[in-house]
Amino acid sequence: MYAGQLVFAQLMDHLPWHSFRRIVERYRGDHRVRDFSCANQFRAMAFAQFTYRDSLRDIETCLDAQLAKLYHLGIRGRVARSTLADANETRDWRIYAEFAQALIAIARPLYAEEPFGVELKETVYAFDATTIDLCLSVFPWARFQSTKAAVRLHTLLDLRGNIPTFIHISDGKLHEVSVLDQLIVEPGAFYVMDRGLIDFERLYRFHIERAFFVIKARSSLRFRRRYTQQVDRGSGLVCDQTIVLTDPHSAQRYLEALRRVRFRDPQSGKSLVVLTNNFALPALTICALYRCRWQVELFFKWIKQHLRIKSFFGTSENAVKTQIWIAVSVYVLVAIVKKRLKLEASLYELLQILSLTMFERTELHQLLTLERIESAMAASTNQLKLFDF
């Protein structure tokens, strides 16, 4: 409840701290810790995300400048960069990974009715991975190539609200196909993927568990047509076929028929060929589902631009994973606040406003309501003219 609280403290009130304390106890995160608890570490790192800090020294300097207000931020005592660095190195990153999952569990019901471009009741996920380049001499544990290091974020994105429901952080060598084994398949849901994830043995698992996949086909696919549906070529559809695989290696791993849909964009002339195990939806809907996969690419672009996950405050694997998971928590927290306060502003606009107002005492809904900002801008237009023509 707002009672003259700082903006940062109001944001932190939207977090399920009871869940956080249980997770910390499970991993003994505060064992033998005197002053700088896991909660203080989370707040300091979240502050860095909200205010676009680039280093531990930046965090220390900014918080020292507001030392009298740290208590009201929820941070007990001064935050030294050495203390924060030690916490990032030693506190188990799984604390913040599980806390992010707790936030995701809160956010997803809030966006359950959010439209995403296709009229469909079922849940639709997009799965892909992005690479974050690192310096090999500084991050030797993340060797990617002989002269490069990298980490990869393998992400399953719920397209309703663009909420990441699964994230696996690995070194750059791990291919995303291997991460499919870690997914808990949801029966009845749709999983949209690019052709780099074609592995018919793993795709058959989706079929067995009564889920649907939509994936771009490779040009080298070997198949035999079993049946062809009539299509309206004026809509851009070229064919809608029921096929079986003829390559011995693939046919042994996927034992059922597949649906192959080909679409040519009337404007650009580009062709799209997708495979799916769903035979009920219209062919145009299948193609529209695949085009929605682009949202996961936009998600990766967004978090790289607006969260601190490209430059890291620590060099160990634990520190890197801790920072990424806290960044994901900040992203989901802003999404929760947006829905709870029924805000019209985009996540980008909300982050920009919050980045400049952490130490203000304005009520959060009033601060983030665009109507108030627009009315203030309209009121300021009545100013003296420098030149009178």
Higher per-residue pLDDT: 240 or 1: 240
What is the reported pTM? Answer: 0.91
Number of folded domains in the chain?
Answer: 1
d(CA 329, CA 349): 18
DSSP three-state, residue 34: coil
* Residue 321 pLDDT: 96
- Within-domain flag for 304: no
Q: Which residue has the tokens 């649907």?
A: 212
Higher per-residue pLDDT: 237 or 34: 237
- Within-domain flag for 227: yes
Mean pLDDT in the chain? 91
- Within-domain flag for 384: no
pLDDT category, 389, cuts 50, 70, 90?
A: very low
Q: Which residue has the tokens 């620590």?
A: 314
* Residue 371 pLDDT: 59
- Within-domain flag for 85: no
d(CA 191, CA 165): 12
pLDDT greater than 70 at residue 72: yes
What's 272's domain CATH number? 3.30.1370
Q: Hey, what are 85's tokens?
A: 């660095």
Q: Which amino acid is at 387?
A: F
Chain segment 160-202, per-residue pLDDT in tens: 999 999 999 998 888 889 999 999 999 999 999 999 999 999 9
Instruction: List the domain range (segments joined by +) for residue 248.
Output: 195-289
- Within-domain flag for 11: no
- Burial environment of residue 59 by CB neighbours within 10 A (0 to 12, 13 to 18, 19 or more): buried
- Within-domain flag for 271: yes
Q: Which amino acid is at 338?
A: K
- Within-domain flag for 369: no
- Within-domain flag for 243: yes
**Which residues, at least 6 apart from 261, have a Cβ–Cβ distance to it below 8 Å?**
237, 239, 240, 241, 273, 274, 276, 283, 286, 287
d(CA 148, CA 155): 22
pLDDT category, 75, cuts 50, 70, 90?
A: confident
d(CA 7, CA 350): 12
CB of 276 closer than 8 Å to CB of 217:
no
In the chain, % of residues over pLDDT 70: 94
* DSSP of 86-99: HHHHHS-THHHHHH
Give, to the nearest 10 degrees, the angle between helix 94-110 and helix 17-27.
Answer: 150
* DSSP of 196-209: GG--HHHHHHHHHT
